[in-house]
Structure 1
Amino acid sequence: MNDYRTNGFRAIIFDLDGTLLDTLADIGDSVNLMLAEYGFPGYTTDDYRRFIGNGIRVLVTRALPVEGRSEEMVDACVRRARELYWENWNRKTRPYAGITELLDHLKKRGLPLAVLSNKPHDFTVRYVNAYFDKWDFKVVMGQNDHFAVKPDPASALDIARRMSLSPESFLFVGDSAVDMKTAAAAGMYAVGVAWGFRGPKELLENGCRTLVDHPLEILPLLEAD
C-alpha cells in the first residue's frame, strides 16, 4: 500500500450532490411533482441548479412562488417533496464519469474517506449505500438535528474529530460556494469540481484553492512533492 501521508493531506471529505452523484434530474422531477399537486408552476432541470445546496427546506422555499411561502405551506410542501423524492430518488441519478475510478485509486492508497451533504441524512445514507457500497466511507453525514447545515463548519470539524485527524489534513471536495466556504471555515483545503451543479466561476469566487475538471485530477494533490 502506498503511503498517503504526503503534502499533509491524509483524508478527503466529499460533498454528494453535484460532486459524487448527478442527482439533479431526480430532485427536480420530484419537486416539480409536488409543485404540480399544489397547483404551482414547475421548473426546468437546469433551473434547479440554483435552488440546490442549502438543504431541502431552502430548496422547496426557493421553488415556491412568493405567495406560497407561508410557514405552514413550506412545511407541507417539504413533507410532500420528501415523500415524492423517496419514491423517485434513483430513476436518473448516476455517479459522474471518473468517480468510481477515483474511489478505486483512493481505496488502494488506504485513504480515509467521508461524505458530508446538506441532503437529509436518511437520503444521504441511502445514496451512499446504493451507489458506493464497494468503498469504505468512514463517516457519512447528511442534514440532521445535531449540526447546522453547511457552510457552518461544525459538521466538517466533527468528522475530523471522529476520524482522529486534524482539519488541515483534509481535502474538502465540492461543487458549490457552500462547500468552498465550509472548507475555509473548517481550515480544510477546498477542491472545487467543475462538473457539478454550479460551475467554476462560483467556486473560484468563493475560496476554491484547486479547481479540477475530472475526478482523477484530485490524485496529484496527494502525491509527494
Structure 2
Amino acid sequence: MSRAIVFDLDGTLVDSAADIHAAVTQMLTEFGKPPLTLARVTSFIGNGIPNLVRLVMRDGGIPEADENLAITRMMAYYAAHPADLSQPYPGVTDCLTRLQEAGIRLGVCTNKFRAPALQILEALDLMQYFEVVVGGDTLPVRKPDPAPLHHAFEALGGTSRMYAGDSEVDAETAQRASIDFALFTQGYRKTPVDQLVTACTFDAFRNLPAIADRVMTVKAGSV
C-alpha cells in the first residue's frame, strides 16, 4: 500500500494570520484607511489573496476600481515579509518527520499564490518534507474546485490518500474530490466541526500520524 497526504498551508501547517494582517494593514495605510483587527482579517483567510483583498476593501471603504492596485500593494509588502511573524503550529515538524519516515509522500495544496507559499515553507524549514506544492495560481481554478487537489495527488501517486486542512473550503474541496478529509480543529475554521464532512479530526499534530495510519489503513482495506 502506497500512501500520500496533502496539506493546506494557512491555518493548517502554519499560523500565518499575523503576517497577512501586517500586509493588509500596510495596504490600508497606503490608502489612508484605518487598520482592521487581526480577528477580522483572519476571518477573511481561505479563498486566496484576491478574495481577501476584496473583503478588506469592502470593510475599509476602498472603491472596487482600486482592486488591482490594492492587491499589488498588499503583495509587495507580503512578498518582502512572508514569514516575519508566522510559525508552524506546535508539533508540525515532528509530525511531518514521522509521516515521511513511515514512507508517506507529502504535498501542499493552498489557495495562496505559489511563490509566497514556497517562501514561507523555505523560511520555516518545512520545504524539505514536500514533493509538490500547488498554489492558488498553479491552475486556472482554485479550491474548492477539486482540480488543484487532484493535481497534487497526481504528482504524488499513492493508492491511499488523505487531505488535511482547517477550513470550510478545505472540507468542500476534499468532498468534491472524493478524498478523505482530516480536519485540524485549531485553525481558521468558522463553521462548527459537526457541520463539516470529515473522515477524522485532530486538535494537535502529535496525534495525526496515528490517526492517519488508522484511517488510511481502513480505507485501503476496503478497496
Instruction: State the TM-score, normalizing by the size of structure 1.
Output: 0.88
Matches within 5 A, 1:1-225: 5=1, 10-65=3-58, 67-70=61-64, 72-133=65-126, 135-144=128-137, 146-166=139-159, 169-198=160-189, 201=192, 203-220=193-210, 221-223=212-214
Provide the rounded CA distance (Å) in 2 between the counterparts of 1:115 and 1:145. Answer: 12
* 1:193 and 1:213 in contact (8 A); partners too: yes
Provide the rounded CA distance (Å) in 2 between the counterparts of 1:205 and 1:196. Answer: 16
Residue in structure 1 matched with residue 221 of structure 2 by the alignment: none
* 2:54 and 2:67 in contact (8 A); partners too: yes
Report SS of the residue matched to 2:111: strand
Provide the rounded CA distance (Å) in 1 between the counterparts of 2:131 and 2:82. Answer: 23
Fraction of identical pairs, as percent: 30
Q: CA deviation at 1:161?
A: 1.7
* 1:22 and 1:96 in contact (8 A); partners too: yes
Report SS of the residue matched to 1:65: helix
Q: Evaluate the alpha carbon distance shift between residue 80 and residue 14 of structure 1 in structure 2; reply closer, same or farther with a 3 A threshold.
A: same
Amino acid at match of 1:151: P
In the alignment, structure 1 segments of 5+ residues that lack a partner are: none
List, as ranges, runs of 4+ consecutive aligned residues in structure 1 with deviation greater than 6 Å.
none
Q: CA deviation at 1:165?
A: 3.3
* 2:82 and 2:119 in contact (8 A); partners too: no
Q: CA deviation at 1:134?
A: 6.5
Amino acid at match of 1:27: I
Q: CA deviation at 1:105?
A: 0.6
Q: CA deviation at 1:10?
A: 1.1
Provide the rounded CA distance (Å) in 1 between the counterparts of 2:97 and 2:127. Answer: 9
Q: CA deviation at 1:68?
A: 2.2
Provide the rounded CA distance (Å) in 2 between the counterparts of 1:136 and 1:37. Answer: 37
Map Cα deviations across residues 113-144 of structure 1 (whole Å, 9 max, x no partner): 00011001101111122223463311111111
Q: Evaluate the alpha carbon distance shift between residue 214 and residue 144 of structure 1 in structure 2; reply closer, same or farther with a 3 A threshold.
A: same
* 1:125 and 1:142 in contact (8 A); partners too: no
Report SS of the residue matched to 2:110: strand
Q: CA deviation at 1:200?
A: 6.6
Q: Evaluate the alpha carbon distance shift between residue 139 and residue 80 of structure 1 in structure 2; reply closer, same or farther with a 3 A threshold.
A: same
Q: Evaluate the alpha carbon distance shift between residue 200 and residue 222 of structure 1 in structure 2; reply closer, same or farther with a 3 A threshold.
A: farther
Provide the rounded CA distance (Å) in 2 between the counterparts of 1:100 and 1:133. Answer: 7
Map Cα deviations across residues 78-121 of structure 1 (whole Å, 9 max, x no partner): 00000011122222111110111101111211210000110011
Q: CA deviation at 1:14?
A: 0.3
Amino acid at match of 1:208: T
